[in-house]
Every structure is written in structure tokens, then in C-alpha cells.
Homo-oligomer: A and B are copies of this chain.
Amino acid sequence: MILVPLPRLRIEPLVRNALAEDLGLAGDITSAALIPAGHRSALHMISRQAGVLAGFDLAALAFRLTDPSVSIAQIKQDGESLTPGDVIATIEGSSQALLTAERTALNFISHLSGIATLTSRMVTAIAGTKASIACTRKTTPGLRVVEKYAVRAGGGVNHRFSLADAVLIKDNHIAVAGGVAEAIRRAKANVGHMVKIEDDVDTIDQLQIAMAEGVDAVLLDNMLPEELRLAVEIVAGRAITDASGRVTLETVAEIAASGVDLISVGWITHSAPILDIGLDAVIAPGE
């Protein structure tokens, strides 16, 4: 699947904001005091762990917004696997600017590559099944677009970007509506026929009701593998089957083997550790 690059219009405000946050009011006083204004350097951006790259454009933009004359040779692309020591890119420019933008660049790329890497491990764990790994709305506030991009870079797919994208009927909705059937009926009566409806079901009984009413997708919540298999059998291709809950690197293969279409996982976005990526000076010649 093609990985659509993030539009510059979307990422530029994020990078400007992050740079401003790190520059504070007086700017990078260390580099200004120690590094001669005209001094230039080259840095290697290096992976220090195995993983999958994501967010290179944000890192590159951090350097470009700090020094428009920077020259960047990109070697690894978002979505590619990294092994420790891999050179991701070479960045050449004003030494002051490189040191000023370094932390912002790394904060973006290591966070997003961490998400891509975790996603990729899940995708690898279910290779050979028909299932896809999907992320949720459990993302870091303000970074949803780029975190969902990182999931795609890791081989996963995206569920709803926002509450506006589709109907997802959850426990609390069902409780207020007075049952699964009534909840689905209200959804059908009140949204357009271009909007998909997904229903959260905890039991096979609820699933039977949902399928009787007709929905586009069912969220099979916290079901055991044998329940999932039965659910897939009952649905029989009439809706997308989406497993959620109790998903770990250890359990995911068995869940996928049940035949579900999607496995939704919150922690690939909300709890991914960073991928360790660093910047090494290639040459720092005398002035």
C-alpha cells in the first residue's frame, strides 16, 4: 500500500510550534555562545535500534525552518526497516542551526518511528492472516494526524480519525438507548446512508442482534479466540469484523487466526516507546 506523504501544510504548524517551544524566548544561547556564526558541519542521522522509520519529513523541516540553506541527503524512507547503525540521512548546514534544531527533529522522528516500529511488530506477528492492525483514537493530543501516519508507515491501517468519521456504538450509548437493537435503529434513522455504522458487541447474543439489524462493522470486544472464530462464522462476510481488547504481541497471532478483518490496538499509539535515533557529527573541521 502506498504511503501518502503528510502535506507540508499539515506538518509545518506542528514543527514551527515545537521549535518555538524549544527556542524559548532567548533562543539557543549555548550554540550562539560557543559556535562561530559561519561554521558548517555535517551530521549523520543514525538509527541506534532496529525498527521502522516514520516522520522523516518533520525532522527535515525542523532543520529547514532553522536554516533554509541546509542540504539534506535522505537515504532511508518512511516505512523502511532500520537496523542499528543504519544511516537514515546526512544533513549539512550551519553548525549553530543544526545544533539548535537537533532536539526538535529527534523528538518527532523518534516518537513517530517508535509507533511505526511497534505497529510493524504487530503486523509481522500476524503475517499470513487476512487481518490488519488498526489504531484507535487513543492518540497523543495534538498529534493524531502524524501518529496515524506513523501507524500506516508501520504497515497498519487507520480507524476513525475523529468522532465525525463513522458511527461507533459503545456500551454507554447502548445503555442510554436501551439496548443494541434500538441503538442501531436510531443510528440508521439519524445518519446519512454514506456513513458507516460499527457496533461494539461483548457477547455472541449481542452480535446476533447486531447482525439481524444490519451494521457495516462489528467491534468484537474482549472476546476469547474461540468466541472470535464463532463470531467470524456468524458474520460470514456480511460486515467487517474488528477485534479489540486483550491484544498483545503474544496474543495477536491467535486473534488474527480467528479470521477477523481488523485488530484494533490503542497502545501502538498511546504507549509506544521511542525508537532511538541519534545525530553524529561526520566532520567538524576547524574554522
Binding site for B on A (CB under 8 A): 1-2, 4-7, 9-10, 14-36, 39, 41, 65-66, 95, 99-100, 103-104, 106-108, 110-111, 114, 132, 134, 137-145, 148-149, 157-159, 161-173, 175-178, 183, 186-187, 189-196, 217, 240, 261-262, 267, 270-274, 281, 284, 286-287
Cβ of B14 and Cβ of A27 under 8 Å apart? no
Cβ of A4 and Cβ of B29 under 8 Å apart? yes
Cβ of B114 and Cβ of A22 under 8 Å apart? no
Which residues in B have their C-beta under 8 angstroms from that of A158? 26, 192, 194
Cβ of B162 and Cβ of A24 under 8 Å apart? yes
Cβ of A141 and Cβ of B14 under 8 Å apart? yes
Residue of B nearest to A100 (CB): B163
With contact pairs A18-B141, A273-B267, A281-B172 given, residues A32 and B190 touching in the complex (Cβ less than 8 Å): yes
Contact of A25 among B104, B148, B194 (CB under 8 A): B148
Question: Which 5 A-B pairs rank lowest in CB-CB distance, beginning with the nearest?
Answer: A24-B162, A24-B164, A271-B273, A33-B190, A18-B141
Which residues in B have their C-beta under 8 angstroms from that of A19? 7, 9
Cβ of A164 and Cβ of B29 under 8 Å apart? yes
Cβ of B29 and Cβ of A163 under 8 Å apart? yes
With contact pairs A140-B107, A187-B34 given, residues A162 and B22 touching in the complex (Cβ less than 8 Å): yes
Which of A6, A32, A158, A267 has the most B CB atoms < 10 Å from its CB? A32
Which residues in B have their C-beta under 8 angstroms from that of A24? 25, 161-165
Cβ of B25 and Cβ of A144 under 8 Å apart? yes
Cβ of B281 and Cβ of A270 under 8 Å apart? no
Cβ of A143 and Cβ of B141 under 8 Å apart? yes
Cβ of A173 and Cβ of B99 under 8 Å apart? yes
Which residues in B have their C-beta under 8 angstroms from that of A4? 26-29, 32-33
A138 to B39, CA, bound (A): 26
Question: What is the distance, in angstroms, from A105's C-beta to the closest C-beta of chain B?
Answer: 10
Which residues in B have their C-beta under 8 angstroms from that of A196? 194, 196
